[in-house]
Amino acid sequence: MVMLMKPKLLMRLLRILIFLLLTLEPLTFIAFAEQENPCLICHMNIRDPLKNIHPALDIGCDACHVAEQGKEHPKDRNSIKLRDDVPKLCYNCHKEFKLRGEYVHAPVSEEMCTACHNVHQSDFKSLLIIEPPELCYKCHYKAKFIKKHFHEVAINACGRRCHDPHASNRPYRLSQDVNATCIGCHSVQESGSHIVSLSNGHIHPIKGVPDPNKPKMEMNCISCHNPHSSNFANLFSSRKRCDKCHKFY
């Protein structure tokens, strides 16, 4: 009889053990985390890690935050403050020169890092608050990017391969000059022969001459094409694109 009860008792104990492991282990982990970092007792939004975590969190909350002298936290309002103003605080780790240039993105020039980035953690790359292009549409008029014909690069991640999201020494914050940026994908069009090639060997220029519609700028790919989207095929900027420069009588 005793021999028959032992397996039953063992199974019962095993079930109890499994139950305790499943219910108490998460509580034990949370309690340990809270003991290591008391901030997590109240700030539960950063207790459960997301896909991408700001490395500053590994240093500790006091890497960016400091208690206000003469105030008791959390009893007193504004009892915790940043160690410095943003973006100066960010530059303690992030290289400032990478965010400087002749052409600076408005959120950067306005010192609004948190307009695009979550300071603690995010499910999106680079700690972005939402995924591009929806993030870009918070400021940039969406209708300009979703016309009948659209550039795949512009729709997918807002053309990160074309623009620097922070600053650049080139217009439109391009990583390269306009034509060099386009030719990175459209190498066949580099010569300009895709526009027109005459019998005497002349081809339509795509660089090296002034743009008739923008005298201060050189002819380039966006003289004829919209780099984002258009209601006309091949992303042409207008239906009668040749008439923009060539006057026929």
Residue 159: which of 128, 188, 182 has the closest Cα?
182
* Mean pLDDT in residue range 55-74: 89
pTM of the model: 0.74
- Output the furthest CA–CA distance in the chain (Å, rounded): 113
Average pLDDT of every residue of the chain:
83
pLDDT, tens only, 78-96: 899 999 999 999 999 999 9
Q: Domain segments of the chain: what residues? A: 51-131, 132-196+205-243
pLDDT in tens, 18-41: 666 655 544 443 443 444 678 888
Q: What is the pLDDT of residues 214-239, one digit of tens each?
A: 878 888 999 899 999 999 999 998 88
Residue 83 and residue 59 in contact, taking contact as beta carbons nearer than 8 Å: no
139: CB partners within 8 A, 6+ apart: 106, 107
Residue 7 has pLDDT above 80, yes or no: no
Q: CB–CB of 221/174 below 8 Å? A: no
